[in-house]
Chain A
């Protein structure tokens, strides 16, 4: 079974430029998460989707960040415009919570390492 797929793996941009990250979750997983991991820290949640609905976006900086999960499968996270402080690894994860037994273990993708110059 394929794991969580993310692209690109690495991205280098100049500040004020836009950038987008793509995530394809594990097949059948209804919940999708975007986390940001700063250097030397653990990941922190940006947004959580249940199917196509964003149910927790309280930590998403909405002035510059946006996300979508069309058709409840793939998801895209966008930053526009990027700032120096956005340099981090952006991790996508998915879990299955749609039926019994409920196992909410989150499986992560390889991440996108963003560098803003």
Chain B
């Protein structure tokens, strides 16, 4: 089974509208972290937002919020008031296991959602 599933290969949204990008995950770990990254055509992966598995509140960062539904194993990204500059590929990623001092861990990425913001 895929660890990270992004079922929307492409999405369109009107400028100033909100859009939700879907992400479901699969893990047997109790401790994990979920990340969203933006990848413009220039290629750089830009960190957007993080949600820890024990975080009770949904994460928010400016126009980005993460709709975390632990029982459903979903971590959808919500972008409010879309802008033309939001057009990019968006990746959901998961870190399995605890965050340890002195040790990082790999991220497992989904296949991404290509978002296009239209006038």
Which residues of the partner chain A approach B44 to less than 8 Å between Cβ atoms? 108-111
The number of chain B residues with a CB under 8 A from chain A is 27
Task: Mark the stretch among B12-20, B75-83, B98-106 that contacts chain A.
Answer: B98-106
Interface centre among B91, B105, B110 (most CB of A within 10 A): B105
Instruction: Evaluate contact between A44 and B109: CB separation under 8 angstroms.
Output: yes
1/0 per residue, CB under 8 A from B, across A67-111: the answer is: 000000000000000000000010101010111101111111111
B107 at the interface (CB under 8 A from A): yes
Question: CA of A40 to CA of B103 in the docked complex: distance in angstroms?
Answer: 30
| Range, interface on chain A | 20 to 34
Question: CA of A91 to CA of B105 in the docked complex: distance in angstroms?
Answer: 16
A24 at the interface (CB under 8 A from B): no
Instruction: Evaluate contact between B104 and A48: CB separation under 8 angstroms.
Output: yes
Residue in chain A with minimal CB distance to B107: A106
Question: CA of A89 to CA of B45 in the docked complex: distance in angstroms?
Answer: 11
Identify 5 new A-B residue pairs, CB closer than 8 A, beyond the known A40-B112, A108-B46, A111-B45: A43-B45, A103-B99, A104-B99, A104-B105, A106-B104
Interface residues of B (CB under 8 A from A): 4, 33, 35, 37, 42-47, 50, 91, 93, 95, 99-107, 109-112
Interface residues of A (CB under 8 A from B): 30-31, 33, 40-45, 48, 50, 55-56, 89, 91, 93, 95, 97-100, 102-111, 113
